Amino acid sequence: MTSNPLLPHLTARAEATAHSRTSACPCGATVTLADRPDATVVRHADTVAKAHAPDITPTELTPRLTTATHLPDLLLPPLTPTPVNLHGRLVTFWPYGTPVDPADPDAAPWEAAATLLARLHRTPAPTPLPPARGPVKAALAISRLRAVAGPEPMTTGIASPPTGITSADTTSPPTATTSVLRAWDTLPAWARAEAPQPDSTTLCHGDLHLGQLVCHPAPDGPWLLIDVDDLGVGVPAWDLGRPAAWYACGLLAPEEWHRFLTAYRAAGGTAVPAEGDPWPALDVPARALTVQTAARAITKALAEGRPLDEVEESFVDACDRMASVPLELTHGHAK
Amino acid sequence: MQCPKCHAPMHTYNRNGVQIEQCSGCRGIFLDYGELEALTRLESQWSQPAPPPPAAPQAYPAPPQAPAWGAPHGGGHHGGHYGHKRHKSFGHMLFSS
């Protein structure tokens, strides 16, 4: 892995900011929390510095930061209200919060996540915001898959799976790509980011998963949502789409899904009807996020020259089944 | 058959689908195993509108709805399926974009 030239600068800024917050910094090591093309995140003591994606502009990011500043009971508020420019990257500073433990499924805060989303969806946007980026991210995952899989995924040869691993065709990335692209093509235009979302007022997080929750103040404070990069106005069911997709693909037990959905409804969330079948509202976002997850998994498997693993395959299998089940229509969202 | 008490011959009658034997001598009634319960049940249906269905022992009232394109959940030959996958997937799949 090539070293990221941004990292030492970001580390220095995190340390400087941490030291400006306290006169008695224990001054341990600065830890890199994430170093991906779309974000680099470092932590020094109680301060986190994040370098945002290279293509993001202050015009897009600043109202999202403003929203977090105005809603400190729902979103972790930034330490500074506007981003700074560091070597061409926008950088923001945040207090450290304790994340969800990836090693402890039983401790996952399903009720807290659902309640935060329900309250977010009921809150008027405190400042004019761009659209939530859920559909844009799904479209991005598909275009990346198309770029690595080539124009004709049926004809293999780009990345044949290594011999002797699994024999089933569905684990082969080229075959799986066909399933995923077919499922993608059945989605309505708005879910593929080819038309505006049918809701332009509801405040949405835009990228909910279990890595988007922290306890603040660490370690025992209340749960808050983090990462405003995809926050905006849009279809709130998109925020429920990932847990819905995990449940539909067999990763989430019925009990956990039931807890999540019940807590969301109890907190007055508007993405699904208060009672009855929630799937007419969830179908399109859950399909889109299943397709997005499958696309990312195949892209990754191709890059690593390996077949899909069992969990990744369950998303591709769901894409296969989608082709034969018509979309559930509701509120005109599935146009 | 003969009455076990007075040894007179018994005749078979059908009462609401339940076969009962009555002695032609002492008028005693012989019930096979389960027939008393069957008659009692029938009697209660006459006097009450309808017995409530027995409560099913479940973790929650009904399994939550799922889309038709979803994976089979719980029960049957898929029992424990998601639990296994949940364990394998939780740490990475549920924490990334």
Instruction: Inform me whether the pLDDT recorded for A286 exceeds 50.
Output: yes
Pick the CATH number of A106-322 from 3.40.1170.60, 3.40.50.300, 3.90.1200.10, 3.40.50.150: 3.90.1200.10
Which residues does chain A have within 8 Å of residue B59's beta carbon, measured at their own beta carbons? Answer: 255
Least-confidence region, from A192-196, A322-326, B15-19, B74-78? B74-78
Give the pLDDT confidence score for residue A153 in this predicted structure: 45
Q: Which of A55-64, A145-154, A289-298, B62-71 has the lowest mean pLDDT?
A: A145-154
Confirm or reject contact between B82 and chain A (CB < 8 A).
yes
**Does residue A120 have a pLDDT over 70?**
yes
B26-35 long-range Cβ contacts below 8 angstroms, 24+ apart: B28/B3, B30/B1, B30/B3, B30/B4
Residue A151: what pLDDT?
65
As a whole-number percent, the residues of chain A with pLDDT over 70 amount to: 91
Instruction: Please report the pLDDT score of residue A252 as a whole number.
Output: 93
CB contact under 8 A, B59 and A255: yes
* pLDDT tens-digit readout, B34-78: 777 777 776 666 665 555 555 555 455 577 899 999 987 643 334
When the pLDDT of each residue in chain A is averaged and rounded to a whole number, the result is: 90
The minimal CB distance from A209 to the residues B71, B74, B97 is found for B97
Q: In this model, does residue A334 exceed pLDDT 60? A: no
**DSSP secondary structure code for residue B66 in this structure:** -
Q: What CATH class has A6-95?
A: alpha beta
Q: Averaged over A256-267, what is the pLDDT?
A: 97
At residue B61, the pLDDT reads 59
Q: Do B95 and A100 touch (CB under 8 A)?
A: yes
CATH 3.30.200 in chain A: give the residue spans: 6-95
At A154 the pLDDT is 46
The predicted pLDDT at position B46 comes to 60
Structure-model confidence comparison of residues B8 and A317, the more confident one: A317
- The answer to whether the Cβ–Cβ distance between A254 and B91 falls below 8 Å is no
pLDDT tens for residues B7-40? 888 877 777 677 778 878 877 787 777 777 777 7
ipTM above 0.85, yes or no: no
- What gap in Å lies between CA A209 and CA A49, rounded to an integer? 20
Domain(s) of CATH 3.90.1200.10: residues in chain A: 106-322
